[in-house]
């Protein structure tokens, strides 16, 4: 009912209607008239020939949906998701299989759960890496730093020995929480007394480096 009224007014469907939109585009539709005509034919069919509509096999309707979905989901999309890594590819494939095995809503929920598992697993991995070689130290942020990473940052800075040359690499981040900036600045204050030289490699957005009281170097894009 809602789809009919919305369509008659030339609006978007109340619920997603992929087949209608795809069929209209394939037929060369360029205006709201296509949605209005679709709603008109649907209304007339339901009102005048409901018995005929009930004779359409559900398997045939399912085949139309799958065929339309296949046309929209090109093989290139699978390749792109695969190149983005398992954390993107597995939820993508699981969602598709779950939808085919159950229904649209359950399939999407299953995909959300799988995607959430990957997000949680990724956030449990260390956000910072520490390396030391012959007086040179590197502390590199692998992703954005939030207040939950304060302790990890403090542990990494505590490993820096006296007299070292320290590079804090933020080039893989677009945001660093101010709590972490304060921790870095507090470390820099005491670094001079320990003979530690500190250089910061700026974040992608170039917002954090100006807040840190240390010389900065260019962003590493590699």
Residues 159-169: tens digit of each pLDDT: 999 999 999 99
19 Cβ neighbours under 8 A, 6+ residues apart? 64, 65, 68
Angle at 214 between CA 211 and CA 215, to 5 degrees: 110
| Domain 128-217 annotated CATH 3.20.20.120 | no
> What's the predicted TM-score (pTM) here?
0.51
The pLDDT value recorded for residue 188 is 92
The domains of the chain are located at: 1-56, 73-125, 128-217
Residues 8-31: tens digit of each pLDDT: 666 665 555 666 677 777 777 777
Q: Across the beta sheet with 197-201, what order do the strands follow?
A: 128-133, 136-141, 165-169, 197-201, 216-217
Mean pLDDT computed over 67-76: 76
Residues 92-107: tens digit of each pLDDT: 999 989 988 888 789 8
């Amino acid at each position: 009912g809602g789809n009919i009224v919305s369509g008659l007014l030339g609006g978007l469907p109340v619920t997603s209607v992929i087949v209608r939109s795809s069929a209209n585009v394939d037929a060369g539709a360029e205006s709201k008239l296509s949605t209005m005509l679709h709603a008109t034919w649907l209304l007339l069919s339901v009102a005048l020939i409901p018995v005929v509509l009930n004779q359409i096999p559900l398997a045939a309707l399912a085949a139309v949906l799958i065929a339309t979905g296949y046309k929209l989901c090109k093989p290139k999309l699978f390749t792109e998701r695969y190149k983005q890594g398992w954390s993107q590819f597995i939820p993508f494939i699981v969602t598709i299989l779950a939808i085919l095995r159950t229904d649209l809503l359950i399939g999407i929920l299953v995909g959300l759960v799988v995607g959430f598992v990957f997000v949680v697993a990724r956030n449990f991995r260390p956000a910072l890496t520490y390396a030391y070689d012959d007086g040179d130290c590197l502390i590199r942020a692998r992703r954005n730093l939030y207040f939950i990473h304060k302790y990890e940052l403090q542990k990494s800075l505590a490993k820096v020995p006296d007299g070292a040359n320290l590079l804090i690499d933020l080039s893989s981040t677009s945001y660093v929480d101010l709590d972490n900036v304060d921790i870095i600045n507090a470390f820099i204050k005491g670094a001079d007394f320990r003979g530690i030289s500190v250089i910061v490699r700026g974040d992608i957005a170039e917002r954090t480096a100006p807040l840190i009281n240390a010389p900065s170097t260019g962003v590493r894009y590699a």
